[in-house]
Amino acid sequence: MSPRRTDVLVIGSGLSGLIASLLLARKGLRVLIVTKDEIDASNSHLAQGGIATVADLAHDSFQKHRDDTLAAGDGLNDPAAVDFFVQRGPDIVAFLRDMGVQFSTRANGDLDLGWEGGHTERRVVHAGDITGNELIGVLKRAVFREHLITIWQHHTAIDIISTRKFLLANEDRAVGAYVLSHEGTVVTVEARAVLLATGGCGRVYLYTSNPDVATGDGVAIGFRAGIPAVNMEMIQFHPTILYHEKVRSTLLSEALRGEGGVLKTRDGNTFMERYHPLRSLAPRDVTARAIDTELKKRGDDFVLLDMTMLDREFIVNRFPNLFKKCLDAGIDMREDPIPVVPAAHYMCGGLRTTPEGDTCVPGLFIAGETAHTGLHGANRLASNSLLEAAIMARCAADGIARWLGEASGAPAALPLWNEEGVSDSDEQVVIKQNWDEIRHCMWNYVGIVRSDKRLERALKRVSLIKQEIDDYYWNFKVNRDLLELRNITLVAEIIIRSAMRRKESRGLHYTTDHPGRSTEARDTEIRREDIID
Ligand SMILES: Cc1cc2nc3c(=O)[nH]c(=O)nc-3n(C[C@H](O)[C@H](O)[C@H](O)COP(=O)(O)OP(=O)(O)OC[C@H]3O[C@@H](n4cnc5c(N)ncnc54)[C@H](O)[C@@H]3O)c2cc1C
C-alpha cells in the first residue's frame, strides 16, 4: 500500500489532539487525526469536575493557584512549569468559550466556580458535572467541519518512523508513523511533523477509571523513539470506582462521601477511623491506601460505600447521574451499599517535554497526559490536567507551525511496513492471558502500596511476558490487542523500574521499605537504553 501524505499527523482525539488539530488547520496546514476508537473515546470525554484556573480575582490569585499546585506536588514540581500553566489559565478558558464551549454560569453571568480537594479557593470552571462531554462535543463538531482535517477513526498508531531508526538521514527526525487500519492493514503515513496526544495509561492496572483506549500507547511509542520517561511511578489512584462484573470504569465522586456516605468492609464494619481522624472524608491518597490495605489484609475484592442512612429523596436529587448509573448496574444505593474499589486514575509522569510540547526528537511533539512537563510533581492537583492538555495543545500548534517553516523536506521514500514471513496468530488466547496477567500483577505488586520485594516480583513476571510478546510481535500479523499488550507491557516495566529507583515515599509513591521522604527531591528518569537494547 502506498504511503499517505499529510503536513501533520495528530495521534489521538482527546482535548489536546482536537485543539491542536483545529489550530493547525487554521494555519493552513493539512492534518490527519488517527484515533483508536470513535472520536470521543478518551479520558477527556469522561472528565467531570472541570478546569482549574484563577477566575475570581477578588479572592484568588496566580500565587495561590501556584502554591496549591506545589503543595499537592510534594516538592517534585518544576516551579517554572507551574507558573507557565497557571498564568495561561484565564486565556485558555477564554479561548474555549470563544470556540463555543458553554461553561456553567451564575445568575449574574459570571462563571460558576467549583471547589475541589487541595484547592484553597473556588477556581474550577465546569459544565455541570459533564465538563468533558461539553468540551469534546464542541471541538468534535468543529473538527468535522474543517476541510483541512481528515479523521481516521478505529485506526491505531503503531510506531513513529524516524530517520535515525531507518537510516534515512544522519540527523534524527520524526517523518511519519505506521498505523493499523480498522481493516487490519498497516498504512505508512508520511508527515512533516507528528503530535502524540494519546492520553494516559490507566488500563495497565486491573481497576481504572480510564476507558479502554488508555493503554499508554503514546508513552511506549515515544519511548521507543528515544524520549525519556520521567516520574512514571507517580500514578494517581481514585479511592472509589464501582466494582461490578460488567459495568466498568464508573467513578463514584468524592461528593458521595462528602454528603455522608460511609466506607465499610464487606462484613458491614467501618474501618476508616483506624487510618485518619476525618474517617470516610480523609484525603484521596489516604483513603485509597486504607482501602487497599483492608483488601489485601482480608483477601476481599471490594469494600462498601454505604449511603443507605441518607434521606432517599435527597440521594436521587443530589446524585441523579450516579444514582441512575448504579441502578442500571442493579444497585439501588438507597437500599444497598455500593461495592467499590480504588482505581488507577491519572498518570502524573510521562515523556519528557517542554511545556510547549517540544521533545528531544525533532519533528515529534507531545501534548496532554502523555507528556511530563513538571506541572504535577508527585501528585496532581485536581483539575490541573485539562488545563495542561489545552494549553500544551495550543502551544504545540504554534511550535509545529514554526518547525514546518524551518525544517527541510522529507526524505525520499519511507520504508513500507514489512510483513514478510509473518502469519495469522493461531493462539489469540496467549494475548488475552498476558493482558490479564500484566494488569493483575501491576495491581497487586505495583499498586497503591509498594515494597522492594513486590517490585522485584513484578519485574520478573513482566520481563517474562515481554519476551513472549516480542516473539509474537515479530512472527504474527499485528492486531490492536497485540499492539496494546506490547505497549502496556513496556509501560508497566517503565513504571516498575521508576518505582524501584525511588528509595523514598513521596506524593503518590508509597513504599513500606522506604516510608520516609528524602531531603532532596529528584525526578526518576528511564531512558530507552535502560530497557530496550
Ligand atoms: C473519569 C475521569 C474524570 C476526569 N476528570 C477530570 C477533571 O474533572 N479535570 C481534569 O483536569 N482532569 C480530569 N481527568 C483527567 C483528564 O481527563 C485527562 O488527563 C485529559 O483529558 C487528557 O487529555 P489528552 O488529550 O491528553 O488524552 P485523552 O483525552 O485521553 O485522549 C487520548 C486519545 O488518544 C487516542 N489514542 C491512544 N492511543 C492511540 C493510538 N495508539 N493510536 C491512535 N489513537 C490513540 C485515544 O483513543 C484518545 O482519543 C479525568 C479523567 C478521567 C478518566
Task: Look up the CATH number of the domain holding residue 463.
Answer: 1.20.58.100
Domain assignment present for 251 = yes
Atom of ligand 1 nearest to the CA of 48: 8
Alpha carbon of 93 to ligand 1 centroid (Å):
18
The answer on pLDDT for 325 being more than 80 is: yes
Domain assignment present for 448 = yes
Same domain, 319 and 364: no
Alpha carbon of 370 to ligand 1 centroid (Å):
9
pLDDT at 409: 67
- The confidence band for 130, taking pLDDT boundaries of 50, 70 and 90, is confident
Domain assignment present for 241 = yes
Alpha carbon of 44 to ligand 1 centroid (Å):
4
Instruction: Calculate Rg over the CA atoms of the chain.
Output: 23
DSSP annotation of 247: -
* DSSP string for residues in 256-302: HHHTT-EEE-TTS-B-GGGT-TTGGGS-HHHHHHHHHHHHHHHT-S-
Q: Which residues pair with 113 in a beta bridge?
A: 125
Alpha carbon of 507 to ligand 1 centroid (Å):
22
296, 316, 345 - which closes a domain? 345
345, 365, 387 - which closes a domain? 345
- The confidence band for 412, taking pLDDT boundaries of 50, 70 and 90, is low
Residue 280 structural domain: 237-345
Same domain, 122 and 101: yes
* DSSP string for residues in 355-410: TT-B-SSTTEEE-GGGEE-SSSTTSPPTTHHHHHHHHHHHHHHHHHHHHHHHPPPP
Kindly report the CATH number assigned to the domain that includes residue 283: 3.90.700.10
pLDDT digits (tens, 9 = 90+) for 241-286: 999 988 777 888 877 887 889 999 999 999 999 998 888 888 788 8
324 to each of 130, 250, 515, how far by Cα in Å?
A: 15, 12, 41
Same domain, 263 and 337: yes
Atom of ligand 1 nearest to the CA of 132: 17
Same domain, 157 and 226: yes
Alpha carbon of 463 to ligand 1 centroid (Å):
28
Q: What is the mean pLDDT of residues 452-475?
A: 92
Q: What angle do CA 51, 54, 57 make, to 5 degrees?
A: 150
Atom of ligand 1 nearest to the CA of 34: 43
303, 328, 345 - which closes a domain? 345
Q: Is 203 a catalytic residue?
A: no
Best of 198, 253, 375, 480 for a ligand 1 pocket test (most atoms within 8 Å of beta carbon):
198
Q: What is the mean pLDDT of residues 478-504?
A: 96
387 to each of 48, 186, 305, 376, 400, how far by Cα in Å?
A: 14, 34, 31, 11, 20
Same domain, 119 and 90: yes
Domain assignment present for 21 = no
Same domain, 361 and 438: no
316 to each of 159, 175, 251, 259, 325, how far by Cα in Å?
A: 47, 53, 17, 13, 12
- Which residue's alpha carbon is at the smallest distance from atom 6 of ligand 1? 47
The answer on pLDDT for 407 being more than 80 is: no
The answer on pLDDT for 127 being more than 80 is: yes
Element spanning 162, H or E: strand 156-162
Same domain, 215 and 228: yes
- Give residues (CB < 6 A) around ligand 1: 11-17, 34-37, 41-44, 46-51, 131-132, 156-157, 197-200, 209-210, 213-214, 217-218, 251, 346, 368-369, 383-386, 389
Domain assignment present for 449 = yes
Element spanning 132, H or E: helix 131-145
Specify the pTM: 0.94
Instruction: Choose the catalytic residue: 88, 284, 439, 480.
Output: 284
Domain assignment present for 192 = no
pLDDT at 167: 65
Q: How many domains does the chain have?
A: 3
Same domain, 117 and 218: yes
Q: pLDDT above 90 covers what percent of the chain?
A: 78
